[in-house]
Amino acid sequence: MLQVPFLPTLQSLLVSPDVPLIHRDLSWIQFNERVLAEARSSSIPILERLKFLAITGSNLDEFFMIRFSSLRKTLVKAKNAEPEKVARLQKIYDEVLEAVAKFNIKQSETFDVLLSELEGQGIFFKNSEESSRAIFEAQVAPKLPPIEVVNAENLSRLENFQLAVISQETGKFLRIPKTVSGAISEYGMQNLASHSFFLLDELLLQNLKSILPNPCVVRVTRDGDFSVDLEEEDSESVPDVVATGIRRRDKGRPVRLQYYGPASPKFLEKISRMLRLRPFQVFPASGTVLLSALWSVLGQLSVQFSHLFYPVLANKMPKPFRKTNNLFERITKEDILLHHPYDSFDAFVSWIQAAADDPDVIMIEQTVYRMDAVSPVIKILKKAAQKKVVRVVIELRARFDELNNLKLADELRRAGVEVAFGFGRLKLHAKIALITRKEGKETRLYTHLSTGNYNAATARQYTDLAILTGNSEIGRDARYFFDKVWSAEVPVSFRKLLSAPARLHRKLLSLIEAETESARQGKKARIAAKVNALVDPAVIEKLYLASQAGVQVDLIVRGACSLVPGVPGLSEKIRVISVVDRFLEHSRIYFFQSSHELYLSSADWMPRNFFSRLELAFPVLDPLLYRFIVENIIGAFLNDTVKARELTPTGTWKKRTGTKSKAKPAIRSQWVFAELALNDYKGTPLE
């Protein structure tokens, strides 16, 4: 990569002083700060702000379990490497912990502000001692185990995210079962418009003082960065292997300790030593150690206080699905684009239902990565299995959904569905469904390809793109994909689809090179991509070279971004924006202007997606869908002046500003998409 001098603010973020790559973990913390900024925004409904605060807590939990644990292991393995490399890794490790400490302070400040504003709406978290005692005695005390004497052995038995209350005077402690709710509610008896909540850590602190003098509540986070290689396992043993791996997550090495309540330095030093933690891995609570419990609070308030959330999205059933009697005929004539959540996920459900009810459909096949346990799709597939072949390939190793997927696999098998699993070191991350239909003497294939999971719950919260097509080449590729995966083989030879790990990375590099060459020849050249993360060094290097050749590169990156835009002589023609708004941006789009190629995909631009997962990228072949995605979707993101933030050459993010006037109003991309869907895409290529 080209070496250029960097400003001091950027230097501290780089993986190495002379390499223009922002460290992915430091960039991720910046992403979580953008999420927290939504919780601090007074322009957002108050309970939506509380939701964003809960998200930052969940994000940080996962960060310590996975990314920080990985960083720690990398540092340990590098102990015998060159001193400069070890010093740089240690510096990044320290900077990550320092950034988290600063972030915790912002979280705590935000929590205090939100609690104060919620009280004005009749929602209370700070309650009287009398009411606290009543709730504790009725709903917490009966579930508590006996008190123990704290020692290194006992404390080390705390499971991942488990609470304990420790007396700083007597050396006794109480492990709190995970089954005890983190947030307990009590409706106001005198004012039905109010609602009171008791967070478990505060309840414990207030009500255990008599038996645990000078108490402190602690919460342990453990290393959850485990992988399960299924290469040597037969299909029948896969569930047992995965279940064993899940249990390891609760017993991994401690990587973080949070505490609630006053704690002496001597006490913190003692328990840190017991858990083999450095002092910088111990954090005071951000208002509570149970930010994750706010999810249940939000659920309980969703009806009575609906006016404090965003209005329910009026997502519509797209036109082609309002009459399903000719759905397959319609798909034969033209491809259909679905943009969730603005287009209802019920469209996909109705397609699967139509296939299940159609006597000419002989087989339904689908991949599953994350699916809600009560999905309507599951019910349809189980019923369809009574009349036709239904095959489902489930990735049991989808992180934090392993148990759900194990149960789902068992449920489907009992109903007669043929079930296979992901295999080897590759996680099956591709999102694809295939319908095989007998039409006269021919057999036709209908394919659904998506950037997101077949999950009705997250389809209302995540933005994703999907295409339904009757294209025969895509159908043959889909048939080949399922046949290979069903045989536990990696598919490599496609006509239209791109797959990882076989070809996707190489193809992306060649497409970037083609744009670069077009720019050198004086032709129009442009690259636009939307991904959740951009951290692959080879892709970033090619993008830098493209910029230097004159290619305009527009990147929409939700999370971690290692590329540094706008640096003279390196990346002047590159701009990077991030959109954090009501819905989680989850769709992936790759656009290459001079090559006239446009792909949607399940894959981010990360080494794990290119080399450790079985991914698919699918081309947008219909000219109208192509135009809509380039003009209306990519265009709206790049013109967003409300929720888009831009990455600067200094490595910091700034809020984009636009001139708001009647002639040029502010643009909020997610609002644009909702309006387009509500109006059946009038005035666009999809009309």
Query: Would you say 585 and 670 are in contact if contact means Cβ atoms under 8 Å apart?
Result: no
- Active site (annotated) includes residue 340: no
Q: Which among 23, 339, 340, 429 is annotated as catalytic?
A: 429
HEC secondary structure over 243-312: HHHHHHHHHCCEEEEEEECCCCHHHHHHHHHHCCCCHHHEEECCCCCCHHHHHHHHHHHCCCCHHHCCCC
Which residue type does 403 have? L
Query: b/e per residue, 268-285, with b = 16+ CB within 10 A?
Result: bebbbebbebeeebbbbb
Identify the three-state secondary structure at position 220: strand
Q: How far apart are CA 396 and CA 685, in angstroms?
A: 39
DSSP state of 611: H
Alpha helices in 186-264 (DSSP H): 200-207, 238-251
| CA-to-CA separations, 464 to 390, 495, 565, in angstroms, rounded | 25, 24, 26
Tokens of 503: 């070809």
Bridge partner residues of 443 (DSSP)? 438
Measured distance CA(579)–CA(409) in Å, rounded: 35
CA of residue 351 relative to chain centroid, distance: 26
Task: Give the whole-angstrom CA distance, residue 687 versus residue 676.
Answer: 10
Phi, psi of 351 (to 5 degrees): -65, -45
Residue 43, H or E segment: none
Q: 344 and 412 in contact (C-beta within 8 Å)?
A: no
- For residue 218, CA distances in Å to 269, 296, 510, 644 come to 13, 21, 51, 37
Place of tokens 């006053």: 262
Which residue, among 558, 561, 602, has the nearest Cα to 581 in the 3D structure?
Answer: 558
3-state secondary structure of 326: helix
- What is the rounded CA–CA span in Å between residue 447 and residue 432? 7
- List beta partners, residue 578: 645
- Measured between alpha carbons, how far is residue 65 from residues 72, 256, 354, 590, 660 in Å? 11, 9, 42, 31, 43
Q: Strand order of the sheet with strand 282-284?
A: 148-149, 172-176, 163-167, 215-222, 254-260, 282-284
CA end-to-end span of the chain: 45
Looking at the annotation, which residues are catalytic? 429
